[in-house]
Amino acid sequence: MQYRIERDSMGEIQVPKERYWGAQTQRSLQNFKIGYGKEVMPIEIIRAFAILKKAAAITNFKLQPQKMTEKKLNAIVSVCEEILSGKLDGEFPLVVFQTGSGTQSNMNVNEVIANRGNEILGEPLLHPNDDVNMSQSSNDTFPTAMHISAVLSIERELLVKLDQLIQTFIHLENQNQGIIKCGRTHLQDATPITFAQEISGWRASLQQDKLMIQNALSPLMQLALGATAVGTGLNAPKDFGKLVAQEISSMLGLSFVTAPNKFHSLSSKSELVNAHGAIKALAVDLMKIANDVRWLASGPRTGLGEITIPENEPGSSIMPGKVNPTQCEALTMVAVQVMANDTAVSISASQGNFELNVFMPVCIYNFLQSVRLLAQAVDSFNKNCAVGIKPNQPKMQENLDKSLMLVTALSPYIGYENCAKTAKLAFKENLTLKQACVKLGLLTEEKFDQIFHPENMV
């Protein structure tokens, strides 16, 4: 491998000749071999940096054109566009477990933009600190990138896939009106419900989760940019934070604003904790729904067997013909990961000391992993399982007919205690409810038939 010599405030260092990064990126690569090649800074963060660097350059050009010239601006914008297109993805190798402020990843982006920009210009005009990082600090750019990446990943990935699953459940709900089945509480037989009502519970849970996530987006729209090192805005021109937030909003079609208190925006990550809490709530409901689906599909002969789900692949290396609810299993494993990530996000956010939180990389790494995994798992579950859910009506009817809790319909006529006696006798002697009720002398056959209508219990 061929190298070139790069220089920073600590001296000279060798950098691979074909790479656009510079000295500070190379030092980070050498000093933090923790999760190298695996736990790297999420690409969503790099894209968010490109957005904010572009917006910052445009704003600096408006506020101080004597420093941010049109020539410099055009070069910075061009490289940011290349980053956003994915052309330069290989230039951002730094791991999550680096400095807790994310300084090295900020400098990684600054160096790549400067070196690639100078290549485009054909002259060494751009400096990573003086030009690309103008009016900024790692302390305000990294939390800004955190918020931008969080909002974009939720809006453009998670909520899109969640809406598709909600629509699937709405379709299934409409398709399965009037099918009566046994309800269950405590994993025991309960009074009847319709299959559509059961599905409506899944659908409503997801709609409520979507609302909570959307409500959590507003605080994430507040950006730290303009705070610089400690929140005072040192070395940033007046209104820089406000104007750059407007520029980012215009670029993305969203309503970002400058954070009203920059000291809070640097040291606290409560907005991310709040949003991840809503994401965790979605994971919890998805766990419940996936478990319901695999319980209802259990069998095919010795389980509940009330629904069928798509058979996607063989389920056993030893038992021929076995098919398992693998999409449910994948979704529940993702839910577990998201619940675990919530702990990492929360503990990271609690580590704000004085004017800065220094657990930001691990905080956003876990946050974005949760969003990405949930979006992909919801999409997979929807396409490979949910859309193919079908009721097994004969089995539903069989289970309903055997349910002792249908006795609840008799309670207004013979009372709670007598209903309990009827259910216990029916279970003990393997009788129908009608046979047990008549044997106890509580109702005649005619009266039982007159008042006993399970279809009216839903």
Question: Which residues are marked as active site?
Answer: 186, 316
Residue 70, C-beta contacts closer than 8 angstroms, at least 6 positions apart? 61
Amino acid symbol at 50: A
User: DSSP strand E in 152-270: where?
Assistant: 180-185, 188-194, 222-223, 257-258
Contact 26, 13 (CB under 8 A): yes
- Residue 56 in tokens: 């910052």
Comparing C-alpha atoms, which of 388, 328, 377, 387 is closest to residue 162? 377
**Token couple for 330:** 């994948």
Reported residue count of the chain is 458
Sign of CA dihedral 128, 130, 132, 137: positive
Beta strands 257-258 and 222-223: pairing type?
parallel
Please report, to the nearest 10 degrees, the dihedral formed by the alpha carbons of residues 74, 76, 82, 88 taken in order.
Answer: 150
Which of 292, 241, 7 has its CA nearest to residue 136?
A: 241
Going by C-beta distance under 8 Å and a sequence separation of 6 or more, which residues neighbour residue 66? none
CA angle 40, 267, 223 (to 5 degrees): 75
Nearest to 245 by CA among 83, 44, 59: 59
Residue ranges of alpha helices (H) inside 302-415 are 326-349, 360-384, 393-402, 411-414
